[in-house]
A and B are shown apart, each in its own frame.
Chain A
């Protein structure tokens, strides 16, 4: 099931289209021509490819495609998970026209207003950027073929599962989802619910294994106060303020430390070494302050007078170099790995409940007392959270929000 989730995290219509194209290129081309104004081409091309002129819609093609697309389907009962953040691609999808085949004869015609007119026209166009209309046309074709496959077998549901999950993420109510299901563009609501359970199970499993994989992990949590309005208020079922706690654990995967820290790494007795000079600016700080000013001035001038600044040229005709600021410790570009814990029905403003939250998180991570002996784990949050973590757990006092 996590496949569905995984696919959606890196959702690309292109992937579905490629799957269809690799298994049934004729069918794809046929549909693309159907979506085009130039119907005459449609008959010719399909017929030429198949070697005859009648019966251009081949039942076998559709069956084959359905079976092939089945391979990438979502088996809701057979969930497996890989929710690591590193599979989530970020950025712009690389060149859409790199591939040969059907793409080579598809090009954009941005001059035409008709959305459906230009799917297969202008065969010789070699432009690398597809027009918005062509992209839209291709998505419609992919959706139509996926819906056809889905009508033949509900196991062929790659697109439908992804769309179903999207509907849920976008907080679409049940009724429209069921309509979309009947129209063949989404799985049913019950399937989505099963998918969610499978994803939650998988995330739970990942949280359980996280400490083994990333021993230098850290935890962060915060209070979440919600005024919950109960449906159909009754004497025993009044609306009211709920004090919950949300928490998550994470790591920047390119961190140099790969071990769990020990109490030797955090020695409070070394606080005695703190000197007044540690708190006052030194030569390096003042030098950096100068860089801060230079860069601050430059970036502001650039924002408001960038055009004028580029006009000024030196005697040799070159432009002035921009002011740059030296990096001190620039973190490498990376995507942090983060998982949320289940929401805790505890109030972090109550010290004893903070202790319970801390213990629950360790339980979720499958860390027992023995694993944490003499260890140190970073726990972060706002000042209230941090202070409450610093109190003795036996002190049962309440400390309301102070920020």
Chain B
């Protein structure tokens, strides 16, 4: 009887069991894009991302400035981590009172580094620091220092997210998601709208705080990551595992024998991968075609740190708007995505807008009226508009 009733239901009701949730890998990717956008600035300007890429001779095509998009996640992620490292070390060097890489080495061997860490972290952990500095007059502001501090703060939170993902601490992920939500709410036009993730981030926060029951929230926290290998640091977001599945499937795909692929091979692609790895591990054969090898980051980080120290970036100098590279070139401000995001949320618009879109008339059912306005000029936006017209 129940089954017959269900068959008579509308398609919306038939699929009411679906609870769609965004994966954290693509979310993290969007956050990296957001950070890049906020620090992009002019390419020739000291402290801009392209400036640093050129400084350590990294190829700039990992980042597409016209679309504001991270093209190659691995490269951008690695570059950003090295840049964060350099900023951290420069901040520590200032605290230690040294101005070179070797100076840091000597001081760390002779001073209580725990006290140094404590002092620096107290300074950089206040996320509203730059926002308060920017309320001051231009004469007292130091744009170079502000920009570096913003990159350092964002880098620390982004790194916590990455580390928590790898070790499987979903409590920390939840903590970072709150900051990401705030960042995404910033309304600086230079940052782009990222409207899709802006709406989705608020939805995830609403789910975690109110919409989901305690059981469901716990279940999400226990299953937002997967561990294909079972190792201690083998966790990854489920959509990242999905990308692995896609890669393996593409590798095995055969258009000539498509049915065999779909029905036989596609069901076991990930097991095949495990078989290969298991045999290599057991027999100890040389695994060819593994082109990636760990490269030490020390020369790059050292080069970045020493440049930051030479420019005295972490010495706050009131009224500084230029750097020694080109005294005529005015340094522009990076976008304070945290400060602007908080300011936007504090108006109450974000929460109210979300509630309106969710509760308008759908009673919790699937509907389309919560779709955000797509980004202007985007392919999706144009297609949707055409279709709906």
- Main secondary structure on A side of the interface with B: mixed
Known: A228-B253, A271-B355, A380-B22. A331 touches B275 (CB 8 A): no
Please give, as numbers and ranges, the residues of chain A lying within 8 Å of B346 by CB-CB distance: 276, 280
Please give, as numbers and ranges, the residues of chain B lying within 8 Å of A403 by CB-CB distance: 26, 29-30
- B262 lies within 8 A of chain A by Cβ: yes
- B303 lies within 8 A of chain A by Cβ: no
**CB distance B160 to A296 under 8 Å?**
yes
- Main secondary structure on B side of the interface with A: helix
Please give, as numbers and ranges, the residues of chain B lying within 8 Å of A368 by CB-CB distance: 3
Q: Which residue of B lies closest to A292 (CB)?
A: B160
**CB distance B261 to A391 under 8 Å?**
no
Q: How many residues of A sit at the interface, in one of the four size bands?
A: 35 or more
**CB distance B113 to A320 under 8 Å?**
yes
Q: Which residue of B lies closest to A261 (CB)?
A: B216
A308 to B111 CA separation, bound complex (whole angstroms): 10
A295 to B363 CA separation, bound complex (whole angstroms): 44
Please give, as numbers and ranges, the residues of chain A lying within 8 Å of B206 by CB-CB distance: 271, 274, 278
A261 CB → nearest B CB, Å = 6
Stretch from A97-105, A150-158, A321-329 forming part of the interface with B: A321-329
- B238 lies within 8 A of chain A by Cβ: yes
A sample of 18 more A-B contacts (CB under 8 A), given A224-B250, A255-B222, is A11-B282, A12-B282, A203-B268, A264-B213, A266-B212, A268-B211, A271-B210, A274-B355, A279-B178, A281-B182, A292-B160, A296-B159, A330-B167, A343-B261, A369-B6, A380-B21, A391-B366, A399-B383
A401 to B381 CA separation, bound complex (whole angstroms): 11
Q: Which residue of A lies closest to B117 (CB)?
A: A297
**CB distance B274 to A9 under 8 Å?**
yes
A42 to B100 CA separation, bound complex (whole angstroms): 67
Nearest 3 interchain pairs by C-beta: A328-B171, A335-B230, A268-B364
B353 CB → nearest A CB, Å = 10
**CB distance B17 to A372 under 8 Å?**
yes
Known: A271-B206, A379-B20, A393-B15. A216 touches B219 (CB 8 A): yes
**CB distance B175 to A294 under 8 Å?**
no
Contact with B17, one of A204, A314, A377 (Cβ below 8 angstroms): A377
A296 to B88 CA separation, bound complex (whole angstroms): 8
**CB distance A132 to B284 under 8 Å?**
yes
**CB within 8 Å of B: which of A60-83?**
83
**CB distance B359 to A272 under 8 Å?**
yes
A197 to B230 CA separation, bound complex (whole angstroms): 27
Please give, as numbers and ranges, the residues of chain B lying within 8 Å of A223 by CB-CB distance: 246
**CB distance B282 to A13 under 8 Å?**
yes
B169 CB → nearest A CB, Å = 5
**CB distance A304 to B26 under 8 Å?**
no
**CB distance A248 to B12 under 8 Å?**
no
A205 CB → nearest B CB, Å = 11
A 380-403 to B, binary, CB cutoff 8 A, 1 in contact else 0: 111101110111111101111111
**CB distance B262 to A342 under 8 Å?**
yes
Please give, as numbers and ranges, the residues of chain B lying within 8 Å of A275 by CB-CB distance: 351
- A363 lies within 8 A of chain B by Cβ: no
B 234-273 to A, binary, CB cutoff 8 A, 1 in contact else 0: 0100110111011001111101100001111111111111
- B125 lies within 8 A of chain A by Cβ: yes
- A218 lies within 8 A of chain B by Cβ: yes
**CB within 8 Å of B: which of A340-398?**
340-345, 355, 358-359, 368-370, 372-373, 375-383, 385-387, 389-395, 397-398
A293 to B126 CA separation, bound complex (whole angstroms): 10
**CB within 8 Å of A: which of B144-194?**
155-157, 159-160, 163, 167-172, 174-175, 178-179, 181-182, 185
**CB distance A169 to B273 under 8 Å?**
yes
A261 to B124 CA separation, bound complex (whole angstroms): 42
**CB distance A90 to B118 under 8 Å?**
no
Known: A341-B267, A382-B23. A312 touches B108 (CB 8 A): yes
A159 CB → nearest B CB, Å = 12
B 204-235 to A, binary, CB cutoff 8 A, 1 in contact else 0: 01110111110110111111011111111001
- B34 lies within 8 A of chain A by Cβ: no
Stretch from A29-37, A47-55, A178-186, A282-290 forming part of the interface with B: A282-290
- A236 lies within 8 A of chain B by Cβ: no
**CB within 8 Å of A: which of B269-287?**
269-276, 278-279, 282-284
A377 to B255 CA separation, bound complex (whole angstroms): 33
